[in-house]
Every structure is written in structure tokens, then in C-alpha cells.
Amino acid sequence: MPMKVKTILSAFSLIISCSLYAQKQGQALIDSMLRELPMSKKDTGKVMLLNLIGRNYVGINPDEAFRYCNEALLLANQLKWTKGKALAYYNLGVANSGISNYPESQADYSTSLALYKTINDTKGVADNYNGFAILNIYQGNFPAAISYLDTCIRIRAAIGDKKGEADCSNNLGSIYQYRGNLPMALYCYNASLQIFIQLNDKERTGAAYNNIGTVYRLQGNYLQALEYHLKALKVDAILKKTSNLITDNGNIANIYLEQKNYAEALKYNHAAIELAQKINDTASVAILSNNIGDVYYQQNNYPLALNDYSTALKMGTEIGNNNVVANAYSKIGQVYANQNKFPEALQSYDKGLIMFREIGDSIRIANTYSNMAVVYFAQKRFPKAEKYYTLALQISRQLGEISVQRSTHEGFSNLYAATGRPDKALYHYKQYIVLKDSSENIDNVRKITQLQNKFDFDLKSDSIKLDTEKRFAIADEKNKTKIRTGLVGGVSFILLLLGGFYFYRKREHDQNKLQQMQLKQDALKARLDTHFVNASLEIINVFIENGDKEAASNYLLKFSRLIRHVLDNSFETNVTLKTDIEFLNDYFQLVKLQYVENHIHYELTIDEAIDPGNTLVPPMIFQVLVENALRHAFNDGQGGTLQVKVKKQGDILQCSVEDNGIGRKAARSLQNGERTSHGTGIAEKLMKVWRPNSQSKFTIEDLTDTEGKPAGTRATFTFPFTTY
């Protein structure tokens, strides 16, 4: 099975945030200005025209952008026109930022700022502060970006520049979006949207719609996300802004990718690529190639993913877009790592790391360090793994980036457990659990929200299609005879009834899916008994205090593997029988140390006709029953045996756990507030979630000896036999 490498960023990819306004107007506008250029006199007007041409080439043809901006700068110097020079340097800063050449961009903005200050051009000063903010956003230095934006907003408010204020508010939204504070991002985007509407600035209004749609997508609210992206699409279609339509299609593709609707994601990404090719927008084609690679990557189709990432790499290199190139190297590294091609993965990560350093993208630097550490650990090159985990943790702590911190603490825990340092392993494991718990709860809620919103999204989309077809039929039949109208009306009525029945069944189906997701969450909360988790950590502490590092290390390794299995597989529909038995073995080995005085034994029997590596079962199916038996089948100090049996009877698989304990009746008489049985309830929930099938059932049998006395209990899951 390929090793999954964690990544924290799906990048800003084609969410080419119009809040950062690249001002791409398209080749048609450029051509009209180029026709005017030969007729222009060598005066300030020509400087402005050259600046406009250069600025509009940004994102389309960087070389041409630099050419015309430098011509503007040369002519402005000849005319000794300070404002023209300041504008040329500002546009050069934008152009360098567009190809991720951030040091040069910083220098250009600084020169422009100084020139604007000499002529007291307040708006020009504010523009450069906004440019500095964007640079720091790209490089992950958010405190500095916020500081620049605050200064920019104060200046623009003082001069009554409402449009400029809205631009800065939009950029603040980008920061909050980047850092995961989606409510604040939504607040900033909505604030800027209201100003753009008041100013009747349709292009920026469309940009704000897109940004708001993106936030809703990230929140899992697909219906509203689609609504706002369609609003943007409508605005951009009226304005005939091809470059913005590229963004619109890319954003809709992202909605479908989040929903794992890969066919639609590919459809809209390819539509965006066709638009980009029409206007020779190579940068967008390269970004979209990375995005298409992501679709195949999520499907584990690594050859196709690698092909698209390689295309993005080639195109990004040709146009000098370091950001595209660095991302492509990073994604290629992930593909190789998941294929266990570790030398190739490290080579790609190294190349990406060099470029991320040149760009100054601190977040992706930290993420790359973490990914490289994972590869070194897989190669058992532990000192190297420790070095890169340390670097990743240092940077992610400075940035306050939780995702990298979480994965790095998990990596440290595994590393130190494997190298016999249980005290450090335990420390990092506790840090990982703290970070994991907070994000896991959010993710679980988000998954349920996404499912409900997906249901609403699908229902609304189908309703719109049916309503549109109905309206078209009515309009088309207005001039027909009454008889034909009646006939069509009758057919339409029947279709409407069928449509209503379809929507009813679809709603019922999707509500069942939502209920299943909620049951999964309930089951996840009850997976491992809190007492077991606390006792396990206490045992690790005892080993450490007694100086038994080997025992502590072994115990912690099993415990971390156990917890990771719970977190990784609780939302999976199936795992192999082999995987689930390995999980049960780890669980029982840990349990034995907590029940030393009971001398509990565990026996496993699997029919020879069953291939454990190819047979599919619900995840952690045995552990629930074993845990329940351990808690209720045996009195304190009483030994016993647990028999786990897996049998195949025709097309049915039976999974049972049998104990020789005191029996259910005696167990109930001994129960008190601290020994409430809940394993049966969990088992019933699991069967509803994992196998909602008439052939699936959960049963409990009371066993007796030859004299009719209680001799234990047998709990059995029965469901259809399935394989890969």
C-alpha cells in the first residue's frame, strides 16, 4: 500500500484571487493599445501608454510586461517625470510578483514608494503599501501583510478612496482565508462587495463574488458556493472578461473536486484551460495542469497525475513562473513518495525546496521539510528524519501553522518510538493528540455539513434543470392549438409527478446518507474506552519511571499505531480482514498489561477458505466486542479466554467473539454507575452504518454448560462476503 504523504496546501491554485488584482485585460485590449503606440509623441502620455501595455501583459506574457515597463521607465527618465518613473517601478514590482520573483518585486516597490513620497502622491504611496502586503501574503508573513494593509486602509480612508479601501479589505480577506479563519474572510469579502456594488464596479464585484464563493466552498457549503461563482460567471460573461471566466470555471471545478465528483471537476478544469489557451494565458494553463493533476492524485491515478504535474512544470519553467514550478516539484515528490520511489521523491522535494526558498514561501518550506522527513523515516535514515522534522516544527510554530505542527509531532512520536526514546515519543504524541483532537472535531462536523450541503446542492441543481425545461416547454407551446397544449400539459403533469417521485426518493436516500455520517461520528466518539486510553498512558509513564526504555518504546509504538488506526479508518467503509486483525492484536497486547491479574487469553481462528488480505470487513469490528467482553465477562481476578472466529458460509461472512465469562445475567447484576455496558449499542450502530443490508445482522447468544449454567456469551456480526 502506498505511503500517503501529508500536505497542508491545495495552494491558491486557480483561485487567482482577484482581490490581489492582476488586472489581466486580455490580448484584445493590448492589441488596441499597440496600434495606438506608433502614433504617440514622446511625452508623458506615451509613458502612461507604455505603462498600461506593460501592466496588462502581466500574467499573459511576463517578458513583454518587463519590456514595456522598462521602456516606460527609460522615457520617464528622459523626460525627468517622477510620477511616470514611480508608476513604472510599481508595475515592475507587480510583474516580478507575478512570476514569484519576490526580492526584485520588493526592491521595485521600495523605489516606487520613495519616488511617490517625494511628490506627495498619497494614492501612489498607498498602492505600494498594498503591493508590500501582497508580497508578504505570498511569502506567508501575515503579520507584516496585515500591518501594511492597515496603513494602506488609513491612507485611502483619509483621501476618500473607497475603491482602494475595498481592495484592501478584500486582501485582508485573502489573509484570513489563507490562515483558515473563514468567518473573518467572509466578513472582509462581504464588506468589499458592498462598496464595489455601490461604486458600480462590475469587474471587482465579480471578483468579490468569486472570493465569497471560495470561502463557502472551503466551509463545505457547496450550494452557496455555486450560487456566488455563478454570479461571478454572469458578470464576467457580460463584461466578456475571458481571464476572469478562467477563474470562474476553475472555482467551480474546485467545488466538484471537494465533493469527489471527479468527472465534473475535470470537465470545468478543461473548459478553463480552453479559455486560457484562446488568450495565450500560459500561466493559467500551467496552474490548471497542476489542478488537473490533483484530481488524478486524489483518485490514486499516479501516472496521469504525474503527467499533468510534469506539464505544469515544463510550462512554468518556460514562462519563468517560479511558484508554479515549485508547486509542481512538490506535487511530483508526493506522487513518488506514495509509489515508494524515495530517491526520486527526495530529488523532487529538494528542487521544490530551493525554489520555495527563493520565493520566500515559508509555509510550503515547512511542509516540504515535513514531507522529506516522512521519506527519510521510511528509509530508516532516522538522524535525517529528526533534522527535517525539527526544521518543519520550528518554522510552523513561528507561523502558527497548525497542520504542519500536528503532522510533525506525529512524525516525531513515531521516530522516537522506533529509536528507543519513549519519553520524547510520549511528549510528542501528547502534543499530536491535542492538535489532532481539535481539528478532528472540526473535520467531523464539516463532513456532516458537507453531506447535508451536497444533498441540498444536488436537489437544487436538479430542481433548476426541471424548472428550466418546464418553462421552455410552456413558452414553446404558447402558439399551439388547445388540444396540443392540453396534451403537452398532460405529459408535463406526468413528468412532474415522476420528477416529484424522483426527488422524494433522492431526498430520502441522501437523508439516509446524512444519518449514516452522524452514526459514524457517534461511533467514533465511542471507539476506545477513555479508561483504556488513560491507563495506557499511565503504563507508559510507569515504564519510563522504572527505566525500562525498551518496554516503554514498544508499548508506545503499539499505542500510537492503534490510535492512528482509529483516526485514519473510522470514516472508511471497508478495511481488509488482515488490517483489522492486526489492529485487534495490537489492542489485545496493550490490554493484557492492564489485566495482568486476570490472565486473559485470546485465540483467533480464520477459515482456510478466507484470504485475510483480500477480504473486506467494517473497520474495528472485533475491537468493540472484545472491549465489551473484557469489561463485563470476567470478575476481578478471574481469568478467561476470548475466541475470535471468522467463518465463511456460502456468500455470508460471520465474525464472532466468544467468551467463557460469567454471562450477561450475572454481569447485569454486578453493573453500577461505573460499569455501564454500551458495547452492544455501539455494535448495533456500526451495523447500521457499515452494512445497511437485509442480510446483515448482529446477534448475541447466552452460552450454557452441560448443567445449564451460564458459560459465557457469543456476539456475532453477519454480513455479505465481499472482496477487492
Give the model confidence (pLDDT) of 632-662 as tens digits: 777 655 678 889 999 998 888 898 999 888 8
Give the model confidence (pLDDT) of 329-376 as tens digits: 999 999 999 999 999 999 999 999 998 887 777 778 988 999 999 999
Cβ neighbors of 703 (< 8 A, separation 6 or more) are 658, 660, 663, 710, 711, 712, 713, 714
Q: How far is CA 207 from CA 18, 146, 202, 257, in A?
A: 5, 21, 9, 21
Ranges 14-23, 169-178, 405-414, 552-561: which has the least confidence: 14-23
Predicted pLDDT at 372: 95
Give the model confidence (pLDDT) of 73-107 as tens digits: 999 999 999 999 999 999 999 888 877 788 899 99
Percent of the chain with pLDDT over 90: 22
pLDDT at position 689 over 60: no
Tell me the β-bridge partners of 646: 606, 655
Q: Give the three-class secondary structure for 187.
A: helix
Higher pLDDT: 128 or 451? It is 128
Tell me the β-bridge partners of 702: 713
Domain boundaries, the chain: 27-160, 164-280, 572-723
Q: How far is CA 391 from CA 177, 420, 662, in A?
A: 25, 22, 55
According to DSSP, residue 646 is labeled E
Pick from 535, 558, 595, 587: nearest CA to 429: 558
At 559, the amino acid letter reads F
Predicted pLDDT at 87: 94
Give the model confidence (pLDDT) of 385-406 as tens digits: 999 999 999 988 876 667 788 8
Residue 591's CB is within 10 A of a number of other CB atoms, namely 20
The band of 679, judged by pLDDT with boundaries at 50, 70 and 90, is low
Q: How far is CA 455 from CA 212, 360, 699, in A?
A: 21, 41, 33
Predicted pLDDT at 462: 46
Predicted pLDDT at 20: 34
Grid cell 527526495 in the structure block, residue: 346
Burial of 460 (0-12, 13-18, 19+ CB in 10 A): middle
pLDDT at position 441 over 90: no
Ranges 172-186, 651-665, 689-703: which has the least confidence: 689-703
Rounded Cα gap, residues 474 and 465, in angstroms: 14
Predicted pLDDT at 426: 84
pLDDT at position 324 over 80: yes
Rounded Cα gap, residues 548 and 231, in angstroms: 65
Domain range 27-160, CATH architecture: Alpha Horseshoe (1.25)
The band of 482, judged by pLDDT with boundaries at 50, 70 and 90, is very low
Q: How far is CA 437 from CA 112, 178, 411, 441, 624, in A?
A: 48, 21, 16, 6, 21
The winner for highest mean pLDDT among 157-166, 214-223, 679-688 is 157-166
The band of 436, judged by pLDDT with boundaries at 50, 70 and 90, is low
The winner for highest mean pLDDT among 242-251, 271-280, 305-314 is 305-314
Higher pLDDT: 407 or 574? It is 407
Query: Can 164-280 and 572-723 be said to share one CATH topology?
Result: no
Higher pLDDT: 723 or 689? It is 723
Give the model confidence (pLDDT) of 520-551 as tens digits: 555 544 455 555 676 677 677 767 777 777 77
Predicted pLDDT at 660: 85
Predicted pLDDT at 468: 40
The average confidence (pLDDT) of the chain is 77
Q: The whole model's pTM is what?
A: 0.52
The band of 663, judged by pLDDT with boundaries at 50, 70 and 90, is confident
Percent of the chain with pLDDT over 70: 74
Rounded Cα gap, residues 254 and 226, in angstroms: 10
Predicted pLDDT at 505: 54
The band of 35, judged by pLDDT with boundaries at 50, 70 and 90, is confident
- Average pLDDT for 577-603: 76
Domain range 572-723, CATH architecture: 2-Layer Sandwich (3.30)
pLDDT at position 496 over 70: no
Predicted pLDDT at 532: 65
Tell me the β-bridge partners of 642: 602, 659
pLDDT at position 447 over 50: no
Domain range 164-280, CATH architecture: Alpha Horseshoe (1.25)
- Average pLDDT for 511-515: 54
